[in-house]
Amino acid sequence: MRLVKLLANLGYGSRKEVQTAIRHGWVTDRDGKALKADSPTAHENILFDDEPLDPAQGVVVLMNKPLGYTCSIKDKGRLVYDLLPDRFRMRKPVLSTIGRLDKETSGALLFTDDGTFLHKVISPKAEVPKVYEVTLDRPMKGDEAALFASGGMMLESEVKPLKPAGLEVLDETHARLILHEGRYHQARRMFAATGNHVTALTRSRIGALGLDGLEEGGWKALSEDEKALIFAAE
Protein backbone atom coordinates (compact mmCIF):
# COMPACT_ATOMS: atom_id res chain seq x y z
CA MET A 1 0.00 0.00 0.00
CA ARG A 2 1.33 3.45 -0.91
CA LEU A 3 2.43 5.59 2.02
CA VAL A 4 -0.22 8.28 1.42
CA LYS A 5 -3.07 5.77 1.41
CA LEU A 6 -1.67 3.93 4.44
CA LEU A 7 -1.49 7.09 6.56
CA ALA A 8 -4.89 8.34 5.43
CA ASN A 9 -6.49 4.97 6.25
CA LEU A 10 -4.94 5.13 9.72
CA GLY A 11 -6.61 8.50 10.30
CA TYR A 12 -3.59 10.79 10.14
CA GLY A 13 -5.49 13.13 7.83
CA SER A 14 -6.97 13.36 4.36
CA ARG A 15 -4.76 12.32 1.47
CA LYS A 16 -4.02 15.98 0.82
CA GLU A 17 -3.05 16.56 4.44
CA VAL A 18 -0.88 13.45 4.47
CA GLN A 19 0.87 14.56 1.29
CA THR A 20 1.62 17.90 2.95
CA ALA A 21 3.08 16.11 5.99
CA ILE A 22 5.31 14.02 3.72
CA ARG A 23 6.53 17.10 1.85
CA HIS A 24 7.42 18.79 5.15
CA GLY A 25 9.50 15.78 6.21
CA TRP A 26 7.25 14.81 9.14
CA VAL A 27 7.13 11.19 7.98
CA THR A 28 10.45 9.39 8.44
CA ASP A 29 11.93 5.98 8.99
CA ARG A 30 13.44 4.99 12.32
CA ASP A 31 16.83 6.29 11.20
CA GLY A 32 15.35 9.77 10.72
CA LYS A 33 15.36 9.67 6.92
CA ALA A 34 12.42 11.56 5.40
CA LEU A 35 10.14 9.31 3.37
CA LYS A 36 8.51 10.04 0.04
CA ALA A 37 5.02 9.09 -1.10
CA ASP A 38 6.33 6.06 -2.96
CA SER A 39 8.92 4.94 -0.38
CA PRO A 40 8.71 1.14 0.14
CA THR A 41 8.91 1.04 3.95
CA ALA A 42 7.51 -1.50 6.42
CA HIS A 43 4.74 -0.27 8.73
CA GLU A 44 6.80 -0.86 11.87
CA ASN A 45 9.67 1.23 10.50
CA ILE A 46 7.59 4.39 9.86
CA LEU A 47 7.45 7.36 12.22
CA PHE A 48 4.94 10.20 12.01
CA ASP A 49 6.17 13.32 13.80
CA ASP A 50 8.82 11.15 15.49
CA GLU A 51 6.22 8.71 16.88
CA PRO A 52 5.61 5.10 15.73
CA LEU A 53 2.51 4.60 13.63
CA ASP A 54 -0.72 3.40 15.20
CA PRO A 55 -1.41 -0.34 14.82
CA ALA A 56 -2.00 -1.55 11.29
CA GLN A 57 -5.38 -2.58 9.92
CA GLY A 58 -6.71 -5.68 11.64
CA VAL A 59 -6.05 -4.26 15.10
CA VAL A 60 -7.88 -5.45 18.21
CA VAL A 61 -7.89 -3.00 21.12
CA LEU A 62 -8.70 -3.74 24.76
CA MET A 63 -10.00 -0.86 26.90
CA ASN A 64 -10.73 -0.70 30.62
CA LYS A 65 -13.97 1.24 30.22
CA PRO A 66 -14.85 3.65 33.04
CA LEU A 67 -18.36 4.36 34.27
CA GLY A 68 -20.27 7.14 32.55
CA TYR A 69 -19.18 6.39 28.98
CA THR A 70 -21.42 4.92 26.29
CA CYS A 71 -20.51 2.79 23.27
CA SER A 72 -22.92 4.11 20.66
CA ILE A 73 -21.95 7.20 18.66
CA LYS A 74 -25.68 7.98 18.49
CA ASP A 75 -25.78 8.59 22.23
CA LYS A 76 -25.22 12.00 23.78
CA GLY A 77 -22.54 12.64 26.36
CA ARG A 78 -19.18 10.95 26.83
CA LEU A 79 -18.29 8.16 24.41
CA VAL A 80 -15.71 5.41 24.74
CA TYR A 81 -14.15 6.77 21.54
CA ASP A 82 -13.26 9.95 23.47
CA LEU A 83 -10.69 7.85 25.36
CA LEU A 84 -8.86 6.89 22.15
CA PRO A 85 -6.71 9.16 19.96
CA ASP A 86 -8.94 11.44 17.85
CA ARG A 87 -7.52 10.04 14.63
CA PHE A 88 -8.88 6.57 15.50
CA ARG A 89 -12.31 7.87 14.47
CA MET A 90 -10.93 8.49 10.97
CA ARG A 91 -9.57 5.00 10.42
CA LYS A 92 -10.68 3.03 7.38
CA PRO A 93 -12.10 0.48 7.96
CA VAL A 94 -13.78 2.06 10.98
CA LEU A 95 -12.94 0.95 14.51
CA SER A 96 -16.03 -0.60 16.13
CA THR A 97 -16.76 -2.00 19.56
CA ILE A 98 -17.13 -5.78 19.81
CA GLY A 99 -20.39 -5.84 21.71
CA ARG A 100 -21.21 -3.10 24.19
CA LEU A 101 -21.14 -2.17 27.84
CA ASP A 102 -23.84 0.18 29.07
CA LYS A 103 -23.13 3.55 30.65
CA GLU A 104 -23.20 2.17 34.18
CA THR A 105 -21.01 -0.87 33.48
CA SER A 106 -17.21 -0.71 33.55
CA GLY A 107 -14.40 -3.04 32.56
CA ALA A 108 -13.15 -4.99 29.56
CA LEU A 109 -14.30 -3.67 26.19
CA LEU A 110 -12.92 -4.71 22.80
CA PHE A 111 -12.63 -2.71 19.56
CA THR A 112 -11.57 -3.83 16.09
CA ASP A 113 -11.55 -2.76 12.46
CA ASP A 114 -11.60 -6.41 11.38
CA GLY A 115 -15.20 -7.39 10.61
CA THR A 116 -14.40 -11.10 10.38
CA PHE A 117 -12.80 -11.09 13.82
CA LEU A 118 -15.70 -9.09 15.28
CA HIS A 119 -18.27 -11.61 14.08
CA LYS A 120 -16.12 -14.50 15.26
CA VAL A 121 -16.23 -13.13 18.81
CA ILE A 122 -19.93 -12.29 18.93
CA SER A 123 -21.15 -15.37 17.05
CA PRO A 124 -23.59 -17.38 19.20
CA LYS A 125 -21.70 -20.51 18.14
CA ALA A 126 -18.48 -19.20 19.69
CA GLU A 127 -20.03 -18.89 23.15
CA VAL A 128 -17.10 -16.74 24.30
CA PRO A 129 -17.49 -16.48 28.10
CA LYS A 130 -17.75 -13.00 29.61
CA VAL A 131 -17.05 -12.69 33.32
CA TYR A 132 -18.71 -9.98 35.42
CA GLU A 133 -18.07 -8.86 38.98
CA VAL A 134 -21.47 -8.04 40.51
CA THR A 135 -22.46 -6.01 43.56
CA LEU A 136 -26.05 -6.37 44.72
CA ASP A 137 -28.43 -4.20 46.69
CA ARG A 138 -29.48 -6.99 49.07
CA PRO A 139 -28.34 -10.49 50.07
CA MET A 140 -28.92 -13.31 47.60
CA LYS A 141 -31.55 -15.92 48.41
CA GLY A 142 -29.29 -18.90 47.77
CA ASP A 143 -31.00 -20.46 44.75
CA GLU A 144 -29.59 -18.07 42.13
CA ALA A 145 -26.72 -20.34 41.01
CA ALA A 146 -29.06 -23.25 40.31
CA LEU A 147 -31.53 -21.01 38.49
CA PHE A 148 -28.88 -19.39 36.30
CA ALA A 149 -27.30 -22.76 35.45
CA SER A 150 -30.61 -24.42 34.59
CA GLY A 151 -30.82 -23.35 30.95
CA GLY A 152 -34.52 -22.70 31.45
CA MET A 153 -34.50 -19.20 32.89
CA MET A 154 -36.73 -16.78 30.99
CA LEU A 155 -36.38 -13.01 31.01
CA GLU A 156 -39.38 -10.75 30.84
CA SER A 157 -40.65 -10.05 27.28
CA GLU A 158 -38.43 -12.79 25.77
CA VAL A 159 -39.53 -16.10 24.29
CA LYS A 160 -36.23 -18.00 24.35
CA PRO A 161 -34.66 -19.22 27.59
CA LEU A 162 -31.18 -18.12 28.58
CA LYS A 163 -28.20 -20.34 28.02
CA PRO A 164 -26.80 -21.82 31.24
CA ALA A 165 -24.72 -19.24 33.13
CA GLY A 166 -22.23 -19.71 35.93
CA LEU A 167 -22.47 -17.96 39.29
CA GLU A 168 -19.76 -17.90 41.94
CA VAL A 169 -21.03 -16.42 45.21
CA LEU A 170 -18.28 -14.36 46.86
CA ASP A 171 -20.35 -13.17 49.79
CA GLU A 172 -24.03 -12.41 50.37
CA THR A 173 -24.04 -9.29 48.13
CA HIS A 174 -21.10 -9.98 45.77
CA ALA A 175 -20.85 -12.55 43.00
CA ARG A 176 -19.00 -13.47 39.83
CA LEU A 177 -21.28 -14.15 36.86
CA ILE A 178 -20.14 -16.00 33.72
CA LEU A 179 -22.29 -15.48 30.63
CA HIS A 180 -22.03 -17.18 27.23
CA GLU A 181 -24.34 -14.82 25.37
CA GLY A 182 -24.96 -11.09 25.33
CA ARG A 183 -28.60 -10.12 25.61
CA TYR A 184 -29.68 -6.58 26.38
CA HIS A 185 -28.74 -5.69 29.99
CA GLN A 186 -28.63 -9.42 30.65
CA ALA A 187 -26.77 -9.49 33.98
CA ARG A 188 -28.97 -6.79 35.49
CA ARG A 189 -32.18 -8.41 34.23
CA MET A 190 -31.18 -11.83 35.55
CA PHE A 191 -30.78 -10.55 39.08
CA ALA A 192 -33.88 -8.38 38.75
CA ALA A 193 -35.82 -11.57 37.95
CA THR A 194 -34.73 -12.91 41.36
CA GLY A 195 -35.99 -9.78 43.10
CA ASN A 196 -32.58 -8.18 43.51
CA HIS A 197 -30.92 -5.09 42.06
CA VAL A 198 -27.40 -4.72 40.66
CA THR A 199 -25.69 -1.65 42.12
CA ALA A 200 -22.28 -2.12 40.45
CA LEU A 201 -21.19 -4.19 37.45
CA THR A 202 -17.72 -4.70 35.97
CA ARG A 203 -16.69 -7.02 33.15
CA SER A 204 -13.38 -8.44 34.32
CA ARG A 205 -12.62 -10.97 31.59
CA ILE A 206 -13.49 -11.96 28.03
CA GLY A 207 -12.59 -15.59 27.47
CA ALA A 208 -9.27 -15.92 29.29
CA LEU A 209 -8.30 -12.32 28.54
CA GLY A 210 -8.27 -10.12 31.63
CA LEU A 211 -7.44 -6.48 32.23
CA ASP A 212 -4.11 -7.36 33.89
CA GLY A 213 -3.51 -4.00 35.54
CA LEU A 214 -4.73 -1.88 32.63
CA GLU A 215 -5.70 1.41 34.27
CA GLU A 216 -9.26 2.70 34.12
CA GLY A 217 -9.74 4.57 30.86
CA GLY A 218 -6.57 3.01 29.45
CA TRP A 219 -6.28 0.90 26.30
CA LYS A 220 -3.79 -1.25 24.45
CA ALA A 221 -3.51 -3.03 21.11
CA LEU A 222 -3.52 -6.80 21.60
CA SER A 223 -0.79 -9.15 20.46
CA GLU A 224 -1.68 -12.31 18.56
CA ASP A 225 -1.22 -14.34 21.77
CA GLU A 226 -3.56 -12.00 23.65
CA LYS A 227 -6.17 -12.20 20.89
CA ALA A 228 -6.06 -16.00 21.14
CA LEU A 229 -6.92 -15.75 24.87
CA ILE A 230 -10.36 -14.39 23.92
CA PHE A 231 -11.30 -17.83 22.62
CA ALA A 232 -9.68 -19.73 25.49
CA ALA A 233 -11.60 -20.54 28.66
CA GLU A 234 -9.75 -20.71 31.96
Residues 6 or more apart from 206 whose CB is under 8 A from it?
A: 108, 110, 121, 128, 129, 130, 131, 230
DSSP state string for 165-230? -EEEEEETTEEEEEESS--TTHHHHHHHHTT--EEEEEEEEETTEE-TTPPTT-EEEPPHHHHHHT
Which is catalytic among the residues 102, 113, 114, 212?
Answer: 102
Q: Examine the residue annotation and report whether 102 is marked as an active-site residue of this protein.
A: yes
| Distance, C-alpha 28 to centroid of its chain | 31
Tell how strand 209-210 and strand 198-206 pair up.
antiparallel
Largest Cα separation within the chain, whole Å, is: 69
The residues annotated with a catalytic role in the active site are 102
